[in-house]
Structure 1
Amino acid sequence: MADETTTKTDDQAAKPDVENQKQAEQPVKATIDTKHGKWYVLHSQTGHENRVKNNLEQRINSLGVQDKIFDIIVPTREIVVIKKGKKAKQKEKVFPGYIFVRMELNDESWLVVRTTEGVTGFIGAGLKPTPISDKEVQAIMRFVQQEQPKFKTKFSVGEAVKITEGPFADFLGSVETIDEQKGKIKVLVSIFDRETPVELDFLQVKKL
């Protein structure tokens, strides 16, 4: 089976991925292209993004500028973290300290956004806000829409660790590779006087 795989050309191997990626991009791009306004990036204090988003939504409603400011998002993704030896899902902000706003920029909409409590400024050259491209927005949307949760680990390649579970419990080794998507870590351990890679779950190792 391995021999058949190696006989494929790079173009043949890449074709399904390219086609799948194009299909995945179509609905995102169509949605963006049919919307009014442009996307701008606001800066706020890290950790206060959702509060600022709520503040801005309230101002938009109270001032009646829904026809000028359309969408506000704080991009997040779901990750899996290890807490007290157990896996737990949680939301992580993709761009801490930043908020994305789709709006028709004019003096009125700029003033509404800029004077909202918690907004420290627009991202742009000088005093003029600079919109981000549709391509950048599409990339962000695809990233946050990924279905499979990502593990978050504090391990790093080359770091010394101790195996805590399984047949190699109490063995010491060094991290060779980390697969955050699957929550797996490959550790080099000395077995029979040879460096042998062992694949483990994040929960099966700890830092020294």
Structure 2
Amino acid sequence: MQAGRRNGSNWYLLQCKPRQDERAQFNLLAQDYATFRPQLMSERIVRGKRHKVVESLFPGYLFIQLSGDDNWGPIRSTRGVSRIVEFNHVPAIVNDQVIEHLRERSVTSLESPPPDTLEPGETLHIVQGSLAPLEGVYLSMLGPERVMILLQFLNRQQPVRVPLCLLERQRH
């Protein structure tokens, strides 16, 4: 969430306490500060089931818009906030174009349709790597970027872990 641009204001980066960026944002918004916490939609496997979750693009950090007229004092004592990120003892200003790019990326991720999910038993082709021309049967996801497939190899079926980026669906 973020308020519009105010005259004479800049974006700054706040470091939050561990796993408290959402809490920090909530408390800063309650104090009428303009904040922005880029978020992305991702899939997690919890107890063997896929769940779509919205998570921070930069866990432990959020952006705040401040001007020279704003009272910066309460920020440091806000629950969830650790510190204002500084370089050479001066708060680091984040370029407006960076914020715009992150805002567009965050919105696109949250609005885009979920990728096609793989179904157990689906045939996949290995298109790169040492197992390249082989095909296997999808068994399960092993985290967000790896899968377990069953290969017919050496006259037996072998379960093999393969990066998702090396696989392609069977073309019909």
Matched, 1:81 2:44: yes
How many Å separate the matches in 2 of 1:176 and 1:130?
A: 38
Secondary structure, in 3 states, of the residue corresponding to 1:52? helix
User: 1:74–1:102: structure 2 CA closer, same or farther, 3 Å change rule?
Assistant: same
C-alpha distance after superposition, 1:129-161 (max 9, x if no partner): 1210012112211211112247961528xxxx4
CA separation of 1:83 and 1:138: change in aligned 2, threshold 3 A: same
Matched with 1:113 is 75
The residue aligned with 1:103 is: 66
- Distance in 1, matches of 2:161 and 2:79, equals 48
Provide the rounded CA distance (Å) in 1 between the counterparts of 2:62 and 2:158. 46
> What is residue 140 of structure 2 aligned with on the other side?
none
Structure 1 residue 176: deviation in Å? 5.4
The whole-number CA distance in structure 2 between the counterparts of 1:48 and 1:75 is 14
Q: Is the alpha carbon distance of 1:177 and 1:88 closer, same or farther for their aligned partners in structure 2, counting shifts above 3 Å?
A: closer
- Amino acid paired to 1:94: L
Residues 199 and 77 of structure 1, relative CA distance in 2, 3 Å threshold? same
Shift of 1:35: 1.7
Distance 1:115 1:84, change over 3 A: closer
Distance in 2 of aligned mates of 1:155 and 1:175: 6
Letter in 1 for 2:14: L
Q: Which amino acid aligns with 1:175?
A: V
**TM-score of the two chains, using structure 1 as the length reference:** 0.53
Aligned-residue Cα RMSD (Å) equals: 3.1
Hey, which of these two has a bigger chunk of strand by percent?
Answer: 2
1:86 and 1:100 map into 2 onto residues whose CA distance is 33
Which residue of 2 is the match for residue 153 of structure 1?
Answer: 144
Task: Give the SS at the match of 2:19.
Answer: coil
- The Cα offsets for residues 99-147 of structure 1, whole Å up to 9 and x where unpaired, read as 11112134x5221212323322111213321210012112211211112
The percent identity for this pair of structures is: 20
- Aligned partner of 1:42 in structure 2 is 14
C-alpha displacement of 1:40: 0.9
Q: 1:112 to 1:105 in 2, by over 3 A?
A: farther
The 2-side partners of 1:99 and 1:35 are apart by 16
Identify the match of residue 169 of structure 2 among 184, 192, 199. Answer: 199
Displacement after TM superposition at 1:177 (Å): 4.6
Structure 1 stretches of 4+ with a deviation exceeding 4 A read: 149-152
Asked if 1:51 is matched to 2:23, the reply is yes
Structure 1 unaligned spans of 5+: 1-31, 61-65, 165-169, 179-184, 187-197, 201-208
CA 163–51 in structure 1, closer or farther in 2 if over 3 Å, else same: same
1:46 partner letter: P
Q: Quote how far apart the aligned CAs of 1:174 are.
A: 5.1
TM-score by length of 2: 0.63
Residue aligned with 2:93, SS: coil
The alignment partner of 1:145 has SS state of helix
